[in-house]
């Protein structure tokens, strides 16, 4: 069974994806910071805090719970759906 989600092929084409371990918060934080650097865009204070906390190994779900309000409902179009990958 293929458990890839929609758009996974496009994500695989992003630079640095080969170094990303999606199960390691530190890896995710480093990748997010590297993508911002490569795009030439400075991280806003909220995203910098998220990267810093991920890079320290903090649980992404805990960060989302605490900082989700910072982004409101319009968090870059993010709409969490617990059933998205249910088979």
Token digits of residue 1:
């069974």
Token digits of residue 64:
């989302």
Q: Is 6 domain-assigned?
A: no
Question: Into how many domains does the chain fold?
Answer: 1
Q: Is 1 domain-assigned?
A: no
Q: Is 15 domain-assigned?
A: no
Write down the pTM of the prediction: 0.60
Q: Is 4 domain-assigned?
A: no
Token digits of residue 9:
């092929």
- pLDDT, tens digit, for every residue of 47-86? 999 999 999 999 999 998 888 766 554 444 445 566 656 6
Q: Is 80 domain-assigned?
A: no
- Centre a 10 Å sphere on the Cβ of residue 70 and count the other Cβ atoms it contains: 12
Token digits of residue 11:
């994500």
Q: Is 57 domain-assigned?
A: yes
Q: Is 10 domain-assigned?
A: no
Nearest 5°: phi and psi at 49? -65, -40
Q: Is 64 domain-assigned?
A: yes
**Range of the structural domain that residue 42 is part of:** 23-69
């Amino acid at each position: 069974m293929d458990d890839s989600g929609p758009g996974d092929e496009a994500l695989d084409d992003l630079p640095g994806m080969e170094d990303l371990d999606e199960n390691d918060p530190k890896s995710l934080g480093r990748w997010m910071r590297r993508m911002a650097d490569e795009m030439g865009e400075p991280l806003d204070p909220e995203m910098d805090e998220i990267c810093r906390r991920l890079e320290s190994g903090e649980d992404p779900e805990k960060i989302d719970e605490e900082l989700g309000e910072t982004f409101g409902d319009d968090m870059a179009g993010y709409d969490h759906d617990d059933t998205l990958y249910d088979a």
